[in-house]
Structure 1
């Protein structure tokens, strides 16, 4: 300190801390001259003493004017040192950097000015302080004082020039600092950061692309800035980097893919578009590097397929097709389970297009990696079943395609049908809205006879009789063009072994519904049995539901499907039992109904025919007064039991046993219906005894709406 005081006059030191700028400036010029003389004489010890004095007594002084004088003095000393300044920078620069964060804006301004003048002298030698300078400039770019901001901008431009021409700059040391600052929200800081990224990327010897994953997320964050200028700068920087990626042989796609996946879900439209555009390029360029990230990428693409912005939808679809066209081996880190998880999750999307593409992915995986997909079947099966309730027919059809593909294996086929019946049982709305579509499609995909046999086997042992009744599959069989082959097979039931087996297989479950059995018999041309079924019906069977279904059957008899039956009426003598069955149906219909008029009109067109005694005897059902119904050598007595005689077999079908099976099943249904009616009556009686006050206190849980619906209120697949 004494050395410094011996070379710097007291008047100079006094003026250096004066409140007037001109006096401080003149004093600084004298300091410059003194230091220059010391440098020429090589007395660096005294130079160090002068710098130490300026730093300690001035730049760290509690007096603002002293700090201002110290800063201008240090800059002057550096100018005086010229080429000798580098060896004293460790003393000169730290006090100046400290002053850049001074609480006094004027001090901060002079600090910027001082560092600017120092940098002009030492140029590249200043690089060793780059990170500290960058950190200070980052803060000053958002300074509250406009003059300080202006001075900082000048200093910033000079430092950029120095860095671009220096071969000492360390990008490895700088990147952590940049990464730390990238998520700052201040617009001035953001402009500052983008400016530096752009400048450094323009330097051929600096590999900014190699460190892109470190600050890529920050750049994407800026795309949604409220300032158009910042958005434009960030977009420009990203566009430049994307172009470099296209031209670069080695890029870390993986780390960047993780960032892009997150940004593809941004609420900002421009950010989503940019992210999905990058993903599109990565899928084209990334190759094997991206295999471990396929699931994450797919998770980003699928929602964008339904984006409200058309540009995003277009790029997302293109990317999706590109990704699906890449054939990868599970042995090469291709995670089938992860892809399935994403596809399954997207089946819950509110957007139809996304759900459809998710199903296409499951289908693609089944086609390419069937064994691996089936290993995850338990994870996706319930979701696929749930998707059968989707509001979109296209989604439902795709789900059925997938189910059919899975069900090529016998054990999976049985599992599918069991689960399907279960879903129909617990969700009657699914049965009503989608039942026919689902069964028809499965019949096309999996062989109609196989599907119907399996359904019949399951329904045969169905404990829920109401459900078994409404699950009757007759109307689908009678109306669907997809089931024409099955109808033709059933028409051969009395003459063909395959037809007989199918008839017997269906009969057990279809006897839950009188109308189903009647339609099955008419289709199989088992007219005598149809007549016996009609005559076996009792009063309780002929309810509103029965009449509604009978109306449907009568109308179906007028369709092309039953053209063969109507033509058979041209030979009434040969088809006596058909005629009797139709007349039996006519007798069950109310005269005022439209179905009655339709059937009566049809029967009036039957050619007149004289029956001989034997024919009449064969056609007779016996004396009604005897209360015994005769059927082909068998009798159903008053108590509902069947008494069999010989001659009741036709093509191996024991129709007498079938009729007994039907009668017993209908008796079970009647008992169930009576039980339900008694339950309703008891509930109503309880409510009446308790009075309106008790009913109100019970709330909705005692409402009749929560009681099991009557059979007549339920609808079937038809």
Structure 2
């Protein structure tokens, strides 16, 4: 201590701790001159002693003015050393960095000023302390004192300049620091972080794109910030990265896809739009690399197809079509049909028609391409598909039937479909009443009317609930007699008495049509089995005349006047003329 004071007079040391800035400044200039002479003489031992004095007696002093003097003194030492300052930085910089967290805002201010002056001298040699400096600047960017913030901004700009011109900066060591802070909500810190990301990305030798997955989520988080400026800065950074991705030969799409999928469900509209736009580009660019993420991406796209914002709907639909075009090998690593089916099944519960419709299109597409694999997971989706037959949208119901028809090409699945359909009609009479005709007619088109009617008749023949069996048969009979889709089936039945196939069909239906006398009579008249029809009619004399009976009788009479029974009326007319 005494030796050091011999180098630096006591008067200078007193002024260095003075409460007046001008005295401290002048004292620092004198310290600078003394150190410069020591450096010229090569007396680095005494330089070290000076630094130790400034640290222990000033920078670490409990008195604020001493700490201020210590900081300005350490900066003066660095200026005095100039080119030889690098060998003393391990002593000079740590106490300055410690002062960034000082309770006194003026000390923090002088710490910024000191490090600024140190950095101007040593430039790239300061990089070894970069992590500590970055951490300090990050905190000071949100300092409660405006003057400290301003000083920190000046220092920050200088450090950025030093980093961009240095070949010693390690991006690998920096990224963990950045990642840890990306979800901080403070607006000043967010601006600080985006500023660093933008600057580093502009340096050709620094590959920020390669580390984008480490901080992408944080940037997306900033898109919903309450500050317009922060949203704009984050959007600008993201736009630049997306452009780089388009021009890059190798990108880690997978890790980023996971982030984008989460962000596509954000409550913030702009965030959703940005995420779905990125996903759209990824699907176009990534191709097979995205195979392991198909299910997750689909899970993000389908809800966006029904988004309240038109721009999002447009991009989501385009992305959906792009994704559907990609044909993956079912044996490809990561291609999980079960997961994709699970996503589509889950979206069948969406409140939005458009999403449910696209989910069905996906199930149908998967059936067309990977039938064997999809059928193996049928138990997971079959019940949901059956429930969808009660969907309020006719378009959804028709698509569900197409999917069912694809599944039911094989007899076991066909039998199961028809059986479950009957069970649904039994459980929900409203479904039969409101959708029964639509469902049956469409199935007859998709799966062959004769096959459908034979299977329905076989099931209803064994039906224990006679009231339901009667209602169901009446519905089937009405569809048979009035639907254009069943014209061929009616023609076959008309040949029942002369055609073996027609007779077999008549017998097949008759066993269940017996649940309804009026349906039985209609079937007999259609098949031109008039004698048997007459026998059935005569047997009805013994039946109790109920309101239901009269209603059915009225329906039969009305049906006899429809075009389907024109031939019957002609036959009766001809027979009457011949008799007269």
TM-score interval, normalised by the smaller of the two chains: over 0.9
Match of 1:313 in 2: 313
Is 1:489 the counterpart of 2:468? The answer is: no
Is 1:542 the counterpart of 2:552? The answer is: no
Q: Which runs of 5+ in 2 are unaligned?
A: none
Task: Find the residue that maps to 1:111 and give its secondary structure.
Answer: helix
TM-score after normalising by structure 2? 0.98
* Match runs of 1:469-548 below 5 Å: 469-472=470-473, 473-538=476-541, 541-548=544-551
- In 2, the alpha carbon distance for the partners of 1:69 and 1:550 equals 111
Compute the displacement of 1:549 (Å): 2.4
Match of 1:147 in 2: 147
- In 2, the alpha carbon distance for the partners of 1:260 and 1:542 equals 69
CA deviation string 1:239-294 (max 9, x = no partner) = 10000000000000000000000000001111111111110110011022111111
- In 2, the alpha carbon distance for the partners of 1:550 and 1:143 equals 90
Match of 1:556 in 2: 559
- In 1, the alpha carbon distance for the partners of 2:544 and 2:51 equals 114
Match of 2:368 in 1: 367
Compute the displacement of 1:516 (Å): 1.1
Is 1:376 the counterpart of 2:372? The answer is: no
Compute the displacement of 1:10 (Å): 1.1
Match of 1:2 in 2: 2
Is 1:348 the counterpart of 2:349? The answer is: yes
TM-score after normalising by structure 1? 0.79
Compute the displacement of 1:538 (Å): 5.0
Match of 2:430 in 1: 429
Match of 1:570 in 2: 573
* Match runs of 1:176-215 below 5 Å: 176-215=176-215
CA deviation string 1:310-349 (max 9, x = no partner) = 1111111111001100111011122111111111111111
CA deviation string 1:433-483 (max 9, x = no partner) = 211111111111111011100010011011111111111110010111000
* Match runs of 1:320-331 below 5 Å: 320-331=320-331
Is 1:25 the counterpart of 2:29? The answer is: no
Higher deviation after alignment, 526-535 or 226-235:
526-535
Task: Find the residue that maps to 1:471 and give its secondary structure.
Answer: helix
* Match runs of 1:16-415 below 5 Å: 16-333=16-333, 334-415=335-416
- In 1, the alpha carbon distance for the partners of 2:467 and 2:65 equals 98
CA deviation string 1:62-88 (max 9, x = no partner) = 111111111111111111111111000
CA deviation string 1:545-597 (max 9, x = no partner) = 22222222222222221111121122234xxxxxxxxxxxxxxxxxxxxxxxx
* Match runs of 1:560-709 below 5 Å: 560-573=563-576, 609-610=579-580
Task: Find the residue that maps to 1:570 and give its secondary structure.
Answer: helix
Compute the displacement of 1:544 (Å): 1.7
- In 2, the alpha carbon distance for the partners of 1:395 and 1:549 equals 32
- In 1, the alpha carbon distance for the partners of 2:76 and 2:123 equals 16
- In 2, the alpha carbon distance for the partners of 1:94 and 1:529 equals 109
- In 1, the alpha carbon distance for the partners of 2:416 and 2:142 equals 66
Higher deviation after alignment, 371-380 or 426-435:
426-435
The count of residues paired between Structure 1 and Structure 2 equals 577
Compute the displacement of 1:532 (Å): 1.7
- In 2, the alpha carbon distance for the partners of 1:432 and 1:93 equals 84
Q: Which runs of 5+ in 1 are unaligned?
A: 574-606, 611-718
Higher deviation after alignment, 379-388 or 426-435:
426-435
Compute the displacement of 1:542 (Å): 2.7
- In 2, the alpha carbon distance for the partners of 1:289 and 1:457 equals 50
- In 2, the alpha carbon distance for the partners of 1:58 and 1:548 equals 108
Compute the displacement of 1:531 (Å): 2.0
Compute the displacement of 1:98 (Å): 0.6
Compute the displacement of 1:539 (Å): 6.3
- In 1, the alpha carbon distance for the partners of 2:400 and 2:280 equals 28
Compute the displacement of 1:236 (Å): 0.5
Compute the displacement of 1:302 (Å): 0.5
- In 2, the alpha carbon distance for the partners of 1:372 and 1:305 equals 27
CA deviation string 1:223-247 (max 9, x = no partner) = 1111111111111100100000000
CA deviation string 1:73-128 (max 9, x = no partner) = 11111111111110000001111111111111111111000010000000000001
- In 2, the alpha carbon distance for the partners of 1:380 and 1:244 equals 41
- In 1, the alpha carbon distance for the partners of 2:541 and 2:36 equals 127
Compute the displacement of 1:541 (Å): 4.2
Structure label with greater radius of gyration = 1
Compute the displacement of 1:136 (Å): 0.7
Task: Find the residue that maps to 1:331 and give its secondary structure.
Answer: coil
Q: Which runs of 4+ in 1 moved over 6 A?
A: none
- In 2, the alpha carbon distance for the partners of 1:75 and 1:551 equals 108
CA deviation string 1:1-26 (max 9, x = no partner) = 33322211111111111111111111
Match of 2:460 in 1: 459
